[in-house]
Amino acid sequence: MKTVIILAVLLCAGHIIRAQNHPYEVKFSYQIESDLANEKITPSKAGLLYSLIGDYQNSNRCSDIPVSWGIDSLTLDNLNYKPALPLIVEQARHRSIVIISENHLKPQHRIFASEIIRELTKLGFSHLGLETFSNVSNSNMLLDSALSSRGYPLNSPITGTYTLEPQMAELVRNAIELDYILFAYERSEKIDGKDRDEIQADNIIRYIEDNPNSKIVIVCGFHHAIESDIRKRERFYWMAHYLKRKLGVDPLTIYQDNFTEKFIENEHVVLKQLCISEPSTFINQEEELVKISAHVDIEVVHPKTTYINRRPSWLYKDEDYKPVKVKLNRQAQNFPIIVSAYRTNETSAVPIDRIELKHKYDTKELVLKKGKYRIEVYDGANSEAYFTTVE
C-alpha cells in the first residue's frame, strides 16, 4: 500500500521515472548513529556520512580538529580584516602554484575554493589537482578518465571519496566548465621510506615535469598545505614543504580551518568578535596582507554559519539559488527519507543537493540553482522520482 501511495503523489508532481539504485555510501542518520555507537565506523567516517546527507552540524560534531600551531594564542588586536578573495588573487599573480587547504567536513571551504579557482583562471591557472581524486597506480592519472568529457563526478569511488559530497562535486563541475585540466596526486600505494605527504609531492612534481610552464592549483585536506619545516611526525613533513623543497618553487599556501567555527574543540576567540559576511583575511593598518604564521601564507577567516530553514546560508551562493520544497504526501509517506536533487542531463552523478527528512513535520528544503532537476526520494526500501524546474 505504501508504494502505491508514493507513486500517486509523484504522478501528481510531474512525470514519474524509475530512480537510480540506492546512492553509494549514503545512510540514514539513525544508521550512522547505530554504527558509531557500536564502533562499526570511526567518528571521522560518521562525519563524512553525515556530510553526504547535508547534515552539517552533526557532521562536525562527530569530527573536528583544534585550532593549530599556536594560532589560538595570537594577539590580533592591531590587525584588521578584509575580504580574502581579491588579496589571494593579488598574491597569486606572480606564483605558479597555489595550494588551498580545506576541512573535509566543512563545505563552505569548498565553496570558497571554487571561487578562488574561478578567479585564478584570469591569471593563467589551468591545471587542478584534488586530493580526493582516485588515481591509477604509478601513472598519476585520474582513475575516472572520462571525468572531464562527461562534465561531472560519478556517485562512485571511481571519481573519488570527497567528491561524493555535493559541494565538492560542484567544485569539480565548475572547474570543468572553466576548462581546467584535472589530475590526481594522492598516494595510490605505499613506498618504503616515504610518507604519504612526500609521495603526494612527488606525484605533483612528476605532473609538473610532464606539463612544463603550467600554473596549477592544488586542493588538499587540513595540514597538507603546511610549507614550513614543522614536522608531521618525527621523521616526516607535510606535502607543501616537500613540494617547495624538492621543486625549488615557493607555492602560495592558503589555510581555511583555523578561523572557521569549531563544534568540538574551542574555536578562535576572533570568531566571537568579528562581524563579517564573507571569507576574509588579516591586514595591517596600511591595508596590506599580514602573514601571521610561518607555516602558511594566508589564513582565511570564515563567518559563523547562519541558517535558513535549518540549511546553512552559504548554500545560497548567489541570487540564482532558491529554496525548493520537496513534493510529498507527508501524511502517507513513511519516514525517514533521503531526498536527492540531480540535474536532468546527468546519469549516475553526485547530486546537486541532498537532505534527510526525518518525519512528516520536517520542513527542511533543498537549495537549488535555477534549472531543471530530477528529485529522487528514497525511504530505505523504495526509490521513486519526479521532475521539477527551479525558476
- DSSP labels, 80-123: EEEEHHHHHHHHHTT-SEEEEEE-TT-HHHHHHHHHHHHHHGGG
Scored b (16 or more CB within 10 A) or e, 52-70 reads bbbbbebbbbbbbeebbbe
The reported pLDDT for the residue numbered 17 is 41
Residues 6+ apart with CB under 8 A from 123: 89, 92, 93, 215
Distance CA 225, CA 246 (A): 15
Contact status, residue 300 vs residue 346, Cβ threshold 8 Å: no
Q: What is the pLDDT of residues 75-100, one digit of tens each?
A: 888 889 999 999 999 999 999 999 99
Distance CA 385, CA 18 (A): 6
* Interval 164-182 mean pLDDT: 98
Half-sphere exposure of 383 (CA within 13 A, CB side): 14
Phi-psi region of 193 (alpha: psi -120 to 50; beta: other; left: phi over 0): left
Q: What is the pLDDT of residues 25-69, one digit of tens each?
A: 899 999 999 999 999 999 999 999 999 999 999 999 999 999 999
pLDDT at 348 over 50: yes
E strands of the chain, at which residues?
Answer: 16-18, 80-83, 97-102, 127-130, 135-136, 141-142, 181-184, 216-221, 252-259, 280-283, 298-301, 307-308, 311-312, 321-324, 337-343, 353-357, 366-369, 371-378, 383-390
CATH code for the structural domain at 71-301: 3.40.50.11550
- DSSP category for residue 211: S
The reported pLDDT for the residue numbered 25 is 83
Distance CA 91, CA 118 (A): 15
* Interval 236-240 mean pLDDT: 97
Type of residue found at 72: D
Domain edges within the chain? 71-301
Please state, rounded to an integer, the average pLDDT across all residues of the chain: 91
pLDDT at 130 over 80: yes
Residues 6+ apart with CB under 8 A from 339: 326, 354, 355, 356, 357, 366, 375, 376, 377, 378
Residues 6+ apart with CB under 8 A from 386: 10, 13, 14, 15, 16, 17, 327, 374, 375
**pLDDT category of residue 190 using cuts at 50, 70 and 90:** confident
- DSSP category for residue 315: G
At residue 119, φ and ψ (nearest 5 deg) are -70, -30
For the chain, counts of helices (H) and of strands (E): 11, 19
- DSSP category for residue 23: P
Mapping DSSP to helix (H, G, I), strand (E, B) and coil, where does residue 198 land? helix
**pLDDT category of residue 233 using cuts at 50, 70 and 90:** confident
Q: For cell 589564513, what's the residue? A: 299
Q: Where is pLDDT greater, at 334 or 175?
A: 175
Count of beta carbons in the 10 Å neighbourhood of residue 339:
24
